[in-house]
């Protein structure tokens, strides 16, 4: 039995005329009659009563019509579901990101994606950037949101949004009155930093300071960005933070740009290269926009 047997049967059952059913199916009557005869032979039951004047369903035909319609409806539903998944409109996506991203542009980007792709279940996993690459390779997550780009034979990065680093200063700090700062202007300052063993951003900031000609004097470390900015506001030191996050503290800290050569903390989406179709590229495309 093939799907065309079911389609031919349903057409004849609904039209109750070989002529009209053949026209509806865009076939001639002999092939239609042959398909119906083959179906009845395979089922071992007569589905239609045929006379020279009319065609009627038998009791067996009436029962089979219900099941045949259900089969084609389920197949059509399955086809639509698979097509939706292939187009990124349905399915499930596992996203790994650090907690600091909930303070920046990501929540608004996620809301935009959820609005445009209501059929996709988005599962968020808080994890440090250092763990995201392994989770991607092991297929425990589908996308990583990270300030560290990666491009190798398995993983690729897409820039989501640019994010220059700014200096966060306590209110009243002497440098806060300056119109412009360069990173080297902070060489004599005490720094508040994220712990280097828990933040790739912290390690990157240390290396940027070294490239600017000095090693930062770290007075205090913490693991949370909100705590870091609170320590700056209390006067314990200065900090280097992504511009998108520093503004959350408003007047509690003073933010100063660091010029055209400011360090970068751009946000990237990491994904497996073999995820070229489906929900992952659609997610990255919408979040980027």
pLDDT of the residue at 160? 94
- Helices and strands, counts by H and E, the chain: 10, 12
Task: Outline where 44-94 has alpha helix (H).
Answer: 59-86
Give the chain's largest Cα–Cα span.
104
Task: Outline where 117-265 has alpha helix (H).
Answer: 129-137, 200-211, 225-233, 243-246
pTM: 0.69
pLDDT, tens digit only, all 289 positions of the chain: 788 888 988 998 898 988 898 899 899 989 888 989 998 898 899 999 888 788 899 999 999 999 999 998 888 877 877 776 766 666 889 999 988 888 889 999 999 999 988 989 999 999 888 789 999 999 999 999 998 889 899 999 999 999 999 999 999 899 998 888 999 999 999 999 988 877 777 888 999 999 999 999 999 999 888 888 899 999 999 999 998 887 777 778 999 999 888 999 999 999 999 887 678 988 999 998 7
pLDDT of the residue at 235? 93
Q: Mutual orientation of helices 3-15 and 18-25 as an angle, nearest 10°?
A: 130
Tokens 């297929």 belong to which residue?
A: 139
What burial class does residue 73 get, using C-beta atoms within 10 Å of its C-beta: 0-12 exposed, 13-18 middle, 19+ buried?
Answer: exposed
The phi and psi torsions of 182 (rounded to 5 degrees) equal -115, 160
Torsion (CA) 204, 205, 211, 214 in degrees, nearest 10: -140
pLDDT of the residue at 84? 66
Alpha-carbon gap, residue 287 to 276, rounded angstroms: 16
pLDDT of the residue at 88? 66
Count other C-beta atoms under 10 Å from residue 225's C-beta. Answer: 24
CATH number of 3-86: 1.10.10.10
- Residue 9, SS3 per DSSP: helix
Span between the terminal Cα atoms of the chain, in Å: 49
User: Which token pair is 66?
Assistant: 């219900």
Beta carbons of 157 and 268 less than 8 angstroms apart: yes
CATH number of 92-160+266-288: 3.40.190.10
HSE, side-chain direction, 13 A CA sphere, residue 226: 7
Could you tell me the fold of the domain covering 165-256? Answer: D-Maltodextrin-Binding Protein; domain 2 (3.40.190)
pLDDT of the residue at 141? 96
Q: Are strands 55-57 and 48-50 parallel, antiparallel or unpaired?
A: antiparallel
**Domains of the chain: which residue ranges?**
3-86, 92-160+266-288, 165-256
Do the domains at 92-160+266-288 and 165-256 have one common CATH topology? yes
pLDDT of the residue at 5? 87
Count other C-beta atoms under 10 Å from residue 253's C-beta. Answer: 28
pLDDT of the residue at 4? 85
CA 145 to chain centre: 10
Beta carbons of 235 and 170 less than 8 angstroms apart: yes
């Amino acid at each position: 039995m093939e799907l065309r047997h079911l389609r031919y049967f349903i057409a004849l059952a609904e039209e109750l005329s070989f002529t009209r059913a053949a026209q509806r199916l865009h076939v001639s009557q002999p092939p239609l009659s042959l398909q119906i005869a083959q179906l009845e032979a395979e089922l071992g039951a007569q589905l239609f009563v045929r006379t020279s004047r009319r065609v009627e369903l038998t009791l067996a035909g009436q029962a089979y019509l219900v099941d045949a319609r259900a089969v084609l409806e389920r197949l059509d539903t399955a086809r639509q579901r698979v097509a939706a998944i292939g187009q990124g409109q349905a399915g499930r996506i596992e996203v790994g990101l650090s907690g600091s991203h909930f303070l920046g542009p990501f929540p608004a980007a996620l809301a935009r994606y959820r609005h445009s792709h209501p059929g996709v279940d988005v599962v968020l996993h808080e994890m440090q950037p250092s763990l995201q690459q392994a989770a991607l390779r092991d297929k425990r997550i589908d996308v990583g949101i990270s300030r560290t780009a990666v491009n190798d034979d398995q993983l690729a990065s897409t820039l989501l949004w640019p994010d220059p680093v700014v200096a966060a200063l306590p209110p009243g700090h002497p440098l806060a009155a300056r119109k412009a700062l360069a990173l080297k202007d902070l060489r004599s300052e005490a720094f508040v930093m994220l712990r280097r063993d828990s933040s790739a951003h912290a390690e990157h900031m240390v290396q940027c300071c070294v490239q600017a000609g000095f090693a930062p004097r770290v007075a205090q470390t913490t693991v949370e960005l909100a705590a870091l900015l609170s320590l700056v506001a209390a006067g314990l030191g200065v900090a280097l933070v992504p511009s998108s996050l520093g503004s959350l503290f408003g007047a509690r800290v003073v933010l100063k740009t660091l010029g055209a050569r400011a360090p970068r903390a751009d946000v990237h989406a990491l994904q497996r290269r073999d995820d070229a179709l489906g929900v992952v590229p659609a997610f990255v495309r919408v979040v980027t926009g």
